[in-house]
Structure 1
């Protein structure tokens, strides 16, 4: 397959996993949302999806998007047989320099104290817990204790859990968690995903798979990326084999058999003509004549054996060809009656930036005759989304930091049925102007990368 399509790597193998992150199916937006929450929110995050849905790769992408001040520990909860094992991983991977001999309660206090001090030195900390829904009860209790026993909610180890069974690990109404479900690929998502992976392997031409076949493969895989990888790989290998068979094996065997048969028949005809004489016609076979029962001469016997062998080879070639054609008829590409799967409905990502708001906007007090910032901004203009929080009072305390109340706006949305408030700043004609304005804000007011978005994008989320 790789040589046929001139690929540098298996497009659906581990090498490409490490090289490319496909944003198909809203995966990139989810990664950006998680990065934003780590920087600005006190809540931890839970990434939900079945096995093979891309949770691990998405978490790795989030880590790549963090700046150098972050220290990251990654553990697999299913492999942790005790709280002590978790303590060793946290201390070792985060470089905290503590001993594990202390009792758990004392050790937690020391961990939180070191973390708070390191935050003062402008370091941040993240713990990624893979297969968190398979954690032992005592391990899960330790993870919870790390969260709730920290004196400062902003200066603690942030946690990102990857789970298959979301109901096994957190309450749906728990406001301390943000839950991010990974939805199955739609057919269009699958097409983009396959294209991204093929390009990463060096394939720059149009996809060698018709969209109808992509839809069929996506339907069979349930929209799960890992299963789609295997199906598309098998499809491409099968297509390569069929093409090779058509170009080489099928015509060559038939031509050889045909030439051999024609040659032997011609020799037999000439031999019979020579035996009967130039002026005598060749005798025709007569089922009622005893002539047909006479023993064959040695030459006739050899000719008959040769013809039988050629016919056997012809029969075998046709049988192989029929099997190849039958295999082709059963593949996905020739399944003309397979119906395309219905695209799954996209679900809004739960985040400070892409919630599904339904409430009216709540904005700073200002002159009633002057439209708010959200109302003034043209669709093509840009604003800076600075932060999203649960408590509007937290945003209200920031308004005094701005020179004019007209420069900012608080937009109220809802997330998981509860109020969610985002603070936007400025009205700019270009992204560069918005970036420059953000950098000119008072030092220490906001850190990290802002989310520069158009007013049209912001309104569409409302």
Structure 2
């Protein structure tokens, strides 16, 4: 019991891994896929033969093949291809009613016969014939039928032109039991049609149709893998499903460790992401806690030297019109030189702890150049007009602060492009033509894992990643390149490093990506 549960659990988890890794919409190799229809020329010829023999013969028609050979699919096609206006199909499973009495009761009930016997069934078939409706009795899993039940069906089939047509779908081991049943004239009562396995080309076409139905293509499997699947399965559809799933799982297991870890352990990735967020929050809180002191030092102390420098501009203008001697300038320099030297070091000390090395140079130079030359213009004339120009340049500190802040922004701006360089973001995908293709390398629920993958393969050109959703959760996809066609993208796969080629990357349309972007 526990072993069976483990097998089922392993199969389910393997299917989930396939969906996550290859981004399938459903398991492409499930035994019963809704809406899937695959018919090779061999199968189409069998279907045409069944319709022909049902119209012109009176034998029981038996389709045989091993388990997983496609009998159920052919039975469904027989019913679906029958004309509903002229044919009534009754489908039963011999697993539920293998005995003669149970089978006859089920058939009579299905056609609403008055009694549960052969005569009532034939009477109902005759009534249907008069209104132009032929009755088809289709029995699946016919290898479970008892010999008496098969003999009864043979008698029903040869009861005349209005008799129902009988179809049996059975495993290969039922051929011996069916071949010994004879009609009243000692002719074989059962016409057997054996299904043939698919060849390599048909196997490839079968898997391609399965993969395309799940949202991908045959590009996921190379020629060697297709050949291995065909040899392992013998060309029978059921065995092809099993072998193809094994091949995809093996390719997924052989992918790089980073790729497997990104998609296979959602709980550990979430825990890691939580730790990263906590650490980032602590770092931001620590940084923000110390930051308020910085503007207090820079903004409050910078205006003092700049006001003195800017205040000289309106006063220095009349100097060419006046005949002020150079001697008075030198005397003023001697008088002002000492306080200027005392003031400038104070400014430099205040800036050295908070402003980058380039900022003090730009602030200190005008203070030393302008103060000695312009200060005499304030002291040489009468002391009374000196206070008048002093309030005028009061707004000057604002440009000074702006220049310092501008310098800081110019210093800080190069950091942003360095973070974004090296890979494409979502805006790049939105701007690309929808006819292009990219090579998808990785899909992960963790954005950190996607970025780590890009950093690990920094030598590969034209990498990018975008965010979408998969099964209702965030999904981060890493791609490479931008190609004009699917064939060009497949050629690009061959040029990737061996470690990336082993992870089975595959081409994906840009239009599909643009529709999936969050």
Q: TM-score normalized by structure 1?
A: 0.48
TM-score between the two structures when normalised by the length of structure 2: 0.43
> Structure 1 or 2: larger helix share?
2
**Larger of the two Rg values belongs to structure:** 2
